[in-house]
Structure 1
Amino acid sequence: MTLKTLGAAALIALSTTVAHADNWTAYTYSSVSSTSAVKGMNRITERAAAETNGDLTIDLHLGKTLQIASADITQAVGDGVVDMAADFFFSGNVPLARVLNLPMLIENDDEWAKAYAAMEPALVDAFAAQGVVLLGGYRYPEQTIFTTFEINSLADLNGHKIRVTSPEQGKFIEEFGGAPITLSGSEVPTSLERGVIEGVVTASAGGAKNWHEFLPYNYRFAVNYGNSMIIANADSFAALSPETQQTLRAIVAEEGPKTTAEFLVDEDVQKKSQAEAGMTLVAMADGDAAAANAKLAPFWEAWAKENGPEYETALATVRAAIGK
């Protein structure tokens, strides 16, 4: 266990070996209570208490309120530091799931639904190997490009430093001459002010909801999709009664898609609000989609081959599901 997760264990007085079946601690990477992500998790905790008649209560902690780094959330849940979490930064611990985030592979809501359904059994197994039960999740709107400089096509990324949230997003930026930089969300505002980065790949209802004042341009090109997994410690979950397990699964199965739907609504609201506040929203240039597909399709195959047969199978599974 890392020092950070050890600190969290001390902070919340939980043992990594003793699971609490009826009084859980949950954590989310999001530190903003007004986001659809946090609202969705709050609904889950409220419904769990109500629908189990108090047999399961869940105390939700927002991002940065526990000493758990975003990249350590999967491990913290697997180790029992917390019993449950919304985990956006799971790819380091469950890299197979990154197949869903490959740039230009999944290009619309229908493709996402088909791809996720096809991959879900493999994802359940991959999280189980980390001591974690995958209960469900939710998806952010399309990840587009927000910049401090004028941008009218992907060619304008050349020579600029762009914050990304995965190596796959980084590959996209590199293909168009940009320099990808990985930073935590809390580092983004000051990094934009200081010129450490000159843009971000995010959603209007995601990071741009908090950072829009630093980003006068938004190029409406969908690079990829980002998603969060809702996960539970395997021992904590096993200690629940079968009835409570079923109830929790049912709640997450309803609230995950509801959170996704709320993000899509909020995306339109934020786009309008950001435009009214002075942000320039730029439509995708003719030819950019074709150029991006031509550049990134070979990367999908190289990515899978480099990582091994399991990844090649995952990529083939997704491509078959979406007919691509």
Structure 2
Amino acid sequence: MIHKSISRLAISAALVVGGATAALAEELSFAHFVPPQHTLTGSVIEPLQEGLKAELGDDMTVRVYPGGELGKGPLEQYVRVVQGVADIVWGLPGYTSSQFSKTMVAEMPGVIEGGQMGYPAIWKSMDLIKDEFPATKPLALWTSEPNIFIMKDKDVRTPDDLKGLKMRVAGATSAAVIEALGATPVQMPAGEIYNALQTGLIDGVVTGASAVSDFKLLEVANSYTVGAPLGRLTFYVVMNQGRYDGLTDAQKAAIDKFAGEYLSKSAETAWNKRADETIAALKADAGKTVITLTEDEAAAFGALTIPVTEKVVGELGAEDVLTSMRGE
């Protein structure tokens, strides 16, 4: 009887301890709107999952909801995380440009020089742009590879080649650049580009080369122009601030270890690698035209696009952000 009582007590104690451990375990939801094979998975989601696993074991996991499973609209990503529909989301500031006007200075032509990474400039400027991320904790902020022209049945070698064309852009900064080149900007989420190119709703796209692979644009575009100063895109991964604040100190410390420049560098490195591989594959494809501009040809575009940066920054009163991001 004594042994049975001890056994029952031991089992009860184990259940209590097990219940306490389970109560401490957290599952964070990570929502995005692209397929699982997108560059985002290997460069951001998996490093975060693996990092938290190494730090916390099973005390914290990240469950991913790709392809708009928690809401189809890419433009609503930030609202989704603030409202608690998801704990973490990935999105583009350009989709809601008015909220992120200072963050998007990093997108402008001439701000991040070719060959340089954009994420250090953004994080160095966080004190100046943090108000654009209310109710969230930014986990990663980075820029894409430099933008290129992605065209259907039209070659772009000079600014005149763009006159009167309809060009898809991701946000307000790219729109201003396209208008300066004499084309008409059409803003739409990346997931709509394929059909828009295929049906002739747009003539081309301004975005990074990685999008050609990630969104299968090589099936509907056949001419690509590299080297014009067109700026870049910016991206964010943010977490609901209240959700973060409710975690244990150990769980918050684990997130902090991988948030910031660590995840941002991982993402931007992957975006650039994907872009380089894509350009190489396009050059090797006899059915595609890849135009690499000379310095003089690129300068002809820059004469129209670089002044847009100073104009937009002046209208925003964001000269301090520009100076910080340029490292001046």
Q: Counterpart in 2 of 1:10?
A: none
Note the residue ranges of structure 2 that are not aligned, 5 or more in a row. 1-23
Q: Counterpart in 2 of 1:100?
A: 106
Q: What's the CA shift for 1:21?
A: 8.3
Cα displacement string for residues 130-163 of structure 1 (whole angstroms, at most 9, x for unaligned residues) = 2011122343211111111122223211121111
Residue of 189, 210, 232 corresponding to 2:239:
232
Q: Counterpart in 2 of 1:25?
A: 29
- Aligned pair count reads 297
CA spacing shift, 1:124–1:268, aligned 2, 3 Å: same
8 Å CA contact 1:185–1:207 kept in 2: the answer is no
Q: What's the CA shift for 1:215?
A: 0.9
Q: Counterpart in 2 of 1:70?
A: 74
8 Å CA contact 2:212–2:278 kept in 1: the answer is no
Q: What's the CA shift for 1:35?
A: 2.5
Alignment of 1:34 onto 2:37? yes
Cα displacement string for residues 152-175 of structure 1 (whole angstroms, at most 9, x for unaligned residues) = 223211121111101111121111
Q: Counterpart in 2 of 1:268?
A: 276
Cα displacement string for residues 211-231 of structure 1 (whole angstroms, at most 9, x for unaligned residues) = 112111100024112232121
Which shifted more, 259-268 or 286-295?
286-295
Residue of 147, 159, 166 corresponding to 1:161:
166
Alignment of 1:300 onto 2:282? no
CA spacing shift, 1:126–1:58, aligned 2, 3 Å: same
| Amino acid paired to 2:231 | N
Q: Counterpart in 1 of 2:49?
A: 45
Larger radius of gyration: 2
8 Å CA contact 1:205–1:266 kept in 2: the answer is yes
Alignment of 1:195 onto 2:200? yes
Q: Distance in 1 between matches of 2:144 and 2:276?
A: 13
Q: Distance in 2 between matches of 1:297 and 1:270?
A: 26
Q: Distance in 1 between matches of 2:172 and 2:97?
A: 10
Alignment of 1:214 onto 2:217? no
Q: Counterpart in 2 of 1:287?
A: 296
Residue of 147, 152, 160 corresponding to 2:151:
147
Q: Counterpart in 1 of 2:210?
A: 205
Q: Distance in 2 between matches of 1:295 and 1:199?
A: 19
* Identity rate, percent: 19
Residue of 177, 185, 188 corresponding to 1:180:
185
Residue of 254, 266, 272 corresponding to 1:258:
266
Aligned partner of residue 67 in structure 2, secondary structure? coil
Q: Distance in 2 between matches of 1:139 and 1:98?
A: 10
Q: Distance in 1 between matches of 2:311 and 2:207?
A: 25
Q: Counterpart in 1 of 2:12?
A: none
Structure-2-length-normalised TM-score: 0.82
CA spacing shift, 1:264–1:301, aligned 2, 3 Å: closer
Considering only aligned residues, what root-mean-square deviation do their CA atoms show, in Å?
A: 2.3
8 Å CA contact 2:159–2:300 kept in 1: the answer is no
The 5-angstrom pairing of residues 114-125 of structure 1 reads 115-125=121-131
